[in-house]
C-alpha cells in the first residue's frame, strides 16, 4: 500500500491566458502535462504523490472559458464555469433545471464555488485502491483489488465492469447525457464535438482513463441543445452524507409527454458503472407507454438486467431500480422552474 504524504512532487507550472497558449503547451508536453481547472481533484492526487506530472497547466487565468450564453437556441457553457454559476444561472434554472439541480448537489457550497463543470465531468474515479497507489489494472497492474474476496467495494460498479469495477463519480454527467449535451474539444489540429454519452470511456475501451479527451486536447465548451428545454425533468442523488459526498447512485431524466403518454425520454444513471450510462433500452421500452406506476416498475426492472453485484454492493440493484422508477414516474422538478 502506498505511503501517503502531503508534500507535492516537483513540477513546472504554466498559467496560460488563452486557449491557443494552452494548446501549444499540450502539444509540446503531451501526456506529461496535467490540466488543472478548479484544482479540487488535482490537489488530492499531487498531495498524495500518486500522480507525478512534470508539467501542470493551470487554467485559472483563462477568462474565455468561463460563462454561460445562449447561442442559436442552445446554451453554451464554458468548461471553467463554476458549479455554483451553473446551479444559479437564470437561463439554466428556467430551461434546464435538471442540470441546475445536479450541479447544486455536488459536494458542498465551498467546493461548488471553486469546482468547474468541465472538471466535474473530467475527474478521475474515486476508488480508494486506485487513488491510494495500489497497482491495480487502472494503474497499470494486473489485478482489481476492489473485485477480490476480501475487498471493500460498497461504492463500486454493478454494471459495465471489464476488469475494473471503479465508477464514474460525476453528478453533472448523467444530467448532461439526459439533455443530449455535446462536449467541444480543441487541439492544434482543430475542433471536434463529442456527444456527452461518448465523452466517457469504459475500461473495455481504455482502462487507464475515464474520458475520450486526448493529451493534446482541451475541453472548452459544453453545449446544451434546445431539444429538451423546459421539459419535465427528474434528478435524484443518493449518498451517505447530505454534504460533500459522492453518489452511491444518481439518476437523471428528461421527458416530453403527449397527454399522459411518454412521447420522448432520455434517461441516464451514474455511480453504477465505470462510466455514466444512458439507459437506451429503457427509453425505447417506455416511449409510447402511459406514464404510470406499471410503466415505471417495468423501467426499473429492465434497467438492472445484467447487473452483477460484488460482495458489498448488492443494495445498488434495488436502489437503482427505485431511482429509475421515480425518474420515469416523475417528481416535483420541472424545466420551467415551477
The candidate with the shortest Cα–Cα distance to 202, out of 272, 108, 250, 265, is 272
The confidence band for 7, taking pLDDT boundaries of 50, 70 and 90, is: confident
**Cα-flanking dihedrals φ and ψ of residue 55, to 5°?**
-135, 135
| Residue 49 forms part of a structural domain | no
The candidate with the shortest Cα–Cα distance to 104, out of 95, 282, 113, 73, is 113
Alpha carbon distance 337, 94 (integer Å): 5
Q: Which three cell numbers stand for residue 77?
A: 457553457
CB 287 within 8 A of CB 128: no
Alpha carbon distance 305, 87 (integer Å): 33
| Residue 267 forms part of a structural domain | yes
Above pLDDT 70, what percent of the chain? 96
Statement: residue 331 has pLDDT above 70:
no
Three-state DSSP class for residue 138: coil
Element (H, E) at 300: helix 293-303
| Residue 58 forms part of a structural domain | no
| Residue 74 forms part of a structural domain | yes
CB 286 within 8 A of CB 210: no
| Residue 146 forms part of a structural domain | no
| Residue 214 forms part of a structural domain | yes
**pTM of the full structure:** 0.95
Structural domain containing residue 74:
68-122+167-329
Domain count for the chain: 1
CATH assignment at residue 230: 3.30.465.10
| Residue 24 forms part of a structural domain | no
The mean pLDDT value for 61-70 works out to 97
| Residue 57 forms part of a structural domain | no
Give residue-wise pLDDT tens across range 77-135: 999 999 999 999 999 999 999 999 999 999 999 999 999 999 999 999 999 999 999 99
Amino acid at each position: 500500500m502506498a505511503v501517503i504524504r502531503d508534500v507535492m512532487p516537483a513540477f513546472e507550472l504554466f498559467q496560460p491566458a488563452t486557449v491557443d497558449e494552452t494548446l501549444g503547451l499540450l502539444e509540446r508536453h503531451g501526456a506529461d502535462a496535467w490540466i488543472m481547472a478548479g484544482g479540487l481533484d488535482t490537489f488530492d492526487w499531487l498531495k498524495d504523490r500518486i500522480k507525478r506530472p512534470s508539467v501542470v497547466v493551470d487554467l485559472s487565468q483563462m477568462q474565455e472559458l468561463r460563462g454561460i450564453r445562449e447561442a442559436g437556441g442552445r446554451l453554451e457553457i464554458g468548461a471553467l464555469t463554476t458549479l455554483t454559476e451553473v446551479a444559479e444561472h437564470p437561463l439554466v434554472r428556467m430551461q434546464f433545471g435538471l442540470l441546475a439541480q445536479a450541479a447544486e448537489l455536488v459536494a458542498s457550497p465551498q467546493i461548488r464555488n471553486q469546482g468547474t463543470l468541465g472538471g466535474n465531468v473530467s475527474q478521475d474515479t474515486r476508488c480508494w485502491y486506485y487513488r491510494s497507489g495500489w497497482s491495480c489494472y487502472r494503474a497499470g497492474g494486473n489485478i482489481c483489488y476492489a473485485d477480490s474476496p476480501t475487498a471493500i467495494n460498497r461504492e463500486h460498479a454493478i454494471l459495465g465492469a471489464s476488469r475494473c469495477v471503479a465508477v464514474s463519480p460525476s453528478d453533472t454527467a448523467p444530467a448532461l447525457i439526459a439533455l443530449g449535451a455535446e462536449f467541444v474539444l480543441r487541439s492544434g489540429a482543430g475542433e471536434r464535438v463529442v456527444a456527452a454519452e461518448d465523452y466517457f470511456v469504459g475500461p473495455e475501451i481504455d482502462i487507464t482513463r475515464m474520458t475520450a479527451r486526448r493529451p493534446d486536447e482541451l475541453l472548452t465548451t459544453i453545449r446544451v441543445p434546445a431539444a429538451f428545454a423546459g421539459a419535465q425533468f427528474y434528478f435524484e442523488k443518493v449518498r451517505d452524507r447530505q454534504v460533500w459526498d459522492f453518489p452511491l447512485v444518481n439518476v437523471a431524466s428528461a421527458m416530453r409527454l403527449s397527454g399522459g403518454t411518454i412521447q420522448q425520454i432520455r434517461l441516464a444513471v451514474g455511480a453504477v458503472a465505470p462510466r455514466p450510462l444512458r439507459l437506451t433500452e429503457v427509453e425505447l421500452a417506455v416511449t409510447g407507454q402511459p406514464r404510470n406506476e406499471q410503466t415505471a416498475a417495468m423501467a426499473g426492472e429492465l434497467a438492472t438486467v445484467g447487473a452483477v453485484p460484488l460482495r458489498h454492493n448488492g443494495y445498488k440493484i434495488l436502489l437503482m431500480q427505485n431511482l429509475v422508477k421515480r425518474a420515469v414516474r416523475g417528481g416535483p422538478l420541472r424545466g420551467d422552474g415551477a
